[in-house]
Structure 1
């Protein structure tokens, strides 16, 4: 009886343990499945967010994106304030006609004539130098038109960027105006006479600095808005004059004569420069010879040396005998 009960008890206990094991296994499987589902959803969400963020990064800051391509294709910033100057020398057949064309070109471009000088050489050829002020936008067009009026002999052009200087002057003007306004506010609040006098002196100094800066700004604006072209027009020599330019014997003779006259002229100039000094020296010598020299004490004549220790004795003269060695009596 005891054996049957123990067998039944063992079978019941084994069944309970098996049921408990199956229950635990099912719970763990369901937990793992839920966790795997949640993890999959999180990864999918992360991947979706990364995919959504990728276009934005490509648009804004990613290497090779739209912003980088736009920055690479953007043209460089051009200089805003440039001073342009040019110098032209043109040889023309008719100087007055070419000058009229230059004036018309400057007027059509909206510029004006700044300065004009005309002269003639020893052959009667006319030479004109004119300064044109034209707008910067029409600078190249006017320059090309002036070159076509004749034969171009010389050309030089220069461009100077003064953008930094213009910005600096503008900033200093703003600062100086604010300073002047503060000084005026302090003058309105001042009550003592000494303070008013001090503030008036400071206001005068700052106002002068402001006017100087404004003058610089106006000058820079004028030089950057209008380009300067200096044009020199020379009359072309004729064919006969070109032939006459070959030197000959008469030309050499004339050149030698000019050199000779130049030498005489320089000698005359040198003589004229030395002549006053020579006259003063002659006058001094004459005064010394006529007035000073006669009054100077004269030196005594030198006495002949007496017989010294080294001299030979001299025999006294013999009476009755001539000094020449003959007898004294006839």
Structure 2
């Protein structure tokens, strides 16, 4: 069932970070909230040690209950972050519907033509064309099912942090000596990797080309020396006797 708001097809996506006292217990509560709303758990990743615990759970919930579920998740502890996005895919949905309808008509037409085939060559040609039309229809229907799923079930990614865990944000602007040092080191490593990559790319060619070039130069010089040896020595003209 696709959820539409004012005849619009909307995809809701959200993420929320909550600091909780007990990550395991809060994860169980988050799962219960999703299943209680008619949804399910789409992914569950957890990590912990003696001083750190974190869980990232992907929830799929019915779109009409999206906002209520996010609010319930925020109450599991101290909310640190919340990010909600919406995407209006009404035009894409309508376009897919029209293309599917048209493609189904083409498939039906192909089947009728196939049933009327008079020769083996026509049969083979029409079977190939029908198979292509059916494949195109299956692809369009798969896209439509995916879109229906995204509009019917919203995705919420909830991150649960233990009290001592740090919140990492992508929007934080870090400044300072250590940040500059880290950026400089990263740039240096990247440049070295690029340089070594270029050297590795050129090395096989150099192994082949350099001996050829050196051999060619050596042969040219040898040939030049041999030509010089083969040339007759210039004769000095006899002196002209003085006039009486």
TM-score over 0.5 for the pair: yes
2:151 corresponds in structure 1 to: 224
Instruction: Give the number of the structure with larger relative contact order, counting CA–CA contacts within 8 Å between residues 6 or more apart.
Output: 2
Matches within 5 A, 1:237-256: 237=164
Matches within 5 A, 1:96-245: 96-120=24-48, 124-237=51-164
* Matched positions, count: 167
Question: 2:54 & 2:46 partners in 1: Cα distance?
Answer: 6
Deviation digits for residues 211-233 of structure 1 (CA, Å, limit 9, x no counterpart): 00110011001000001000000
1:95 corresponds in structure 2 to: 23
Question: 1:191 & 1:169 partners in 2: Cα distance?
Answer: 35
2:8 corresponds in structure 1 to: 80
TM-score, normalised to structure 2, is 0.64
Matches within 5 A, 1:9-48: none
Question: 1:224 & 1:124 partners in 2: Cα distance?
Answer: 40
Question: 1:227 & 1:181 partners in 2: Cα distance?
Answer: 35
2:226 corresponds in structure 1 to: none
- Asked if 2 retains the 8 angstrom alpha-carbon contact of 1:79 and 1:161, the reply is no
Deviation digits for residues 59-90 of structure 1 (CA, Å, limit 9, x no counterpart): xxxxxxxxxxxxxxxxxx82521000001111
Question: 1:171 & 1:149 partners in 2: Cα distance?
Answer: 44
User: SS of the counterpart of 1:159?
Assistant: strand
Question: 2:31 & 2:43 partners in 1: Cα distance?
Answer: 11
Structure 1: runs of 5+ lacking an equivalent: 1-76, 239-265, 267-272, 274-330
Shift of 1:188: 1.1
Structure 2: runs of 5+ lacking an equivalent: 166-188, 190-195, 197-244
TM-score, normalised to structure 1, is 0.48
Question: 2:79 & 2:121 partners in 1: Cα distance?
Answer: 69
Q: Runs of 4 or more off by more than 3 Å in structure 1?
A: none
- Asked if 1 retains the 8 angstrom alpha-carbon contact of 2:51 and 2:164, the reply is no
Question: 2:44 & 2:136 partners in 1: Cα distance?
Answer: 35
Bigger strand share = 2
The higher radius of gyration belongs to: 1
User: SS of the counterpart of 1:88?
Assistant: strand
Shift of 1:100: 1.1
Bigger helix share = 1
Question: 1:131 & 1:79 partners in 2: Cα distance?
Answer: 27
